[in-house]
Amino acid sequence: MKQPWRIFIIFVVLMALWNTIFIKPIKLFTVFLHELGHAFMAAITGSKVTGLSIYFNESGHVTSLPKDWLSSFLIANGGYLGSVLFACCILLLKNTRFKKYIIGVIAIIFLGVTFRFSGILSFTMLYSVVFAIAALIIYMIQNDRLHDWVIEIIGIGSVTYAIYDTFVDTVLLQVNQAFGFIRLDRMPVTDAVLISRLTHTPAVVWGVLWLGISLFAVYVILLRGRKNKSGRYSKKY
């Protein structure tokens, strides 16, 4: 199967099965990347990260001490945008000589961040250890095809997370709140709600913006023509 079609099929299958138990390990991985995006942006802005956690119910949070309004704004945007950025890095590095290090480096980052900010007795640590063991098994098997599939699945899963969550948990949630299609006991405080409070603009605006960026990433990384051996993009006429 040619790589562009394989990537597209992985994306469709993940999107179709996103709310099933089969995808939970991948969803937990994408939630971890989402929280890493917040922590990464906090580090860039010089803000202190005081905690990072993910949970079995696929939620997570980062606690930080932003230096100012701009830091708070950038940290709140770092979750979904970080997921897309990390996904792009994973999928782009797959086609380089650094491919064989991707899974191992991610495992080390997960363990390091968890040890520093989550504590040893936590679900976050349990997931990090399980991921590290899985990475070790993959390296021990030494099967290039399996390695490629794993990298593509976790990379595409991160983009799928950004698309699905921004559409369902942000855009649809805000539309439902405005028109009251489904009654909710409590409105969850999402990243878009936090940014809405900071900027005094509707949360749905930020959801649509994140969704647009995520879809653009799908187009650029997953669907555009790939270079042929001569270095030019292959086209059909």
Over residues 124-145, the pLDDT tens digits come to 999 999 999 999 999 999 898 8
Instruction: Indicate the helix (H) or strand (E) that contains 54.
Output: strand 48-54
Radius of gyration of the chain from its Cα atoms, rounded to whole angstroms: 18
Quote the pLDDT of residue 176: 65
Lookup: tokens for 40: 């990464």
Between residues 231 and 7, the one the model is more confident about:
7
Mean pLDDT across the chain: 84
pLDDT band, very low/low/confident/very high, at 229 (cuts 50, 70, 90): very low
Distance CA 45, CA 107 (A): 25
Distance CA 82, CA 166 (A): 13
Quote the pLDDT of residue 124: 96
Lookup: tokens for 67: 């230096």
Distance CA 39, CA 64 (A): 8
Quote the pLDDT of residue 123: 96
Quote the pLDDT of residue 236: 40
**Residue 31 pLDDT exceeds 80:** yes
Between residues 227 and 109, the one the model is more confident about:
109
pLDDT band, very low/low/confident/very high, at 228 (cuts 50, 70, 90): very low
